[in-house]
Amino acid sequence: MAFFRRGEKPTSAFGYSRLLVPLLGVDDVDGPALKVAAMLLGGRSDTEASLLHVIEVPFEQTLDRENEEAIAAADAILSRAEALLVGRGITARTSTVQARAAGPAIVDDANELDADLIVMGLRYKKRFGGQWDAGRTVPYVMRNSTAPVWCLRAETKELAHTP
């Protein structure tokens, strides 16, 4: 058990200083991930949150083709998230990547940043037959990332009504 004098701040229980937060653009999914990132990094000066939005490009299009609507949407998503973190005194950097699939782009960005932790939201969705499905991005990141991954599933009222 650690004791602190009133004037002293306890050190953070977590040693994470470089977080990657991939953003989907859905408030119910991104909000909890941003709140957890803010809790982990808040009050510390040696930290940085990297916010990433991946624009998935279909195979029938070239990767270098710019979709101005998708880029504008990514800028809006990243601006809102950056404002939330900067408002809490956390250094944040933003980036947008165009890729065929979000999972490999997230893992590559985490490796490039040497991220200590990936904090990402997860939609609640069902597939045919009513089974819950994590999709393809989150399982890919969890299997292939060298950094720890924290996933926060979006809140849903639907579960309360299932037998």
- Residue 116 is given by DSSP the state S
Q: What pLDDT does residue 34 have?
A: 95
Distance between start and end Cα atoms, the chain: 43
**Can you give the residue ranges of every domain in the chain?**
18-154
Q: What pLDDT does residue 130 have?
A: 67
pLDDT tens, position by position, 124-141: 776 666 667 778 899 999
Q: From CA 99, how far away is CA 84, in angstroms rounded?
A: 26
Sign of CA dihedral 83, 122, 99, 143: positive
Other residues' Cβ atoms within 10 Å of the Cβ of residue 61:
11
Q: Alpha-carbon dihedral of residues 77, 83, 85, 86, nearest 10 degrees?
A: 150
Q: What pLDDT does residue 155 have?
A: 73
Helix (H) or strand (E) holding 139: helix 137-144
pTM: 0.83
Q: From CA 42, how far away is CA 65, in angstroms rounded?
A: 38
> What CATH architecture is 18-154?
3-Layer(aba) Sandwich (3.40)
Residue reference for tokens 């991946």: 54
**Residue spans of the chain under pLDDT 50:** none
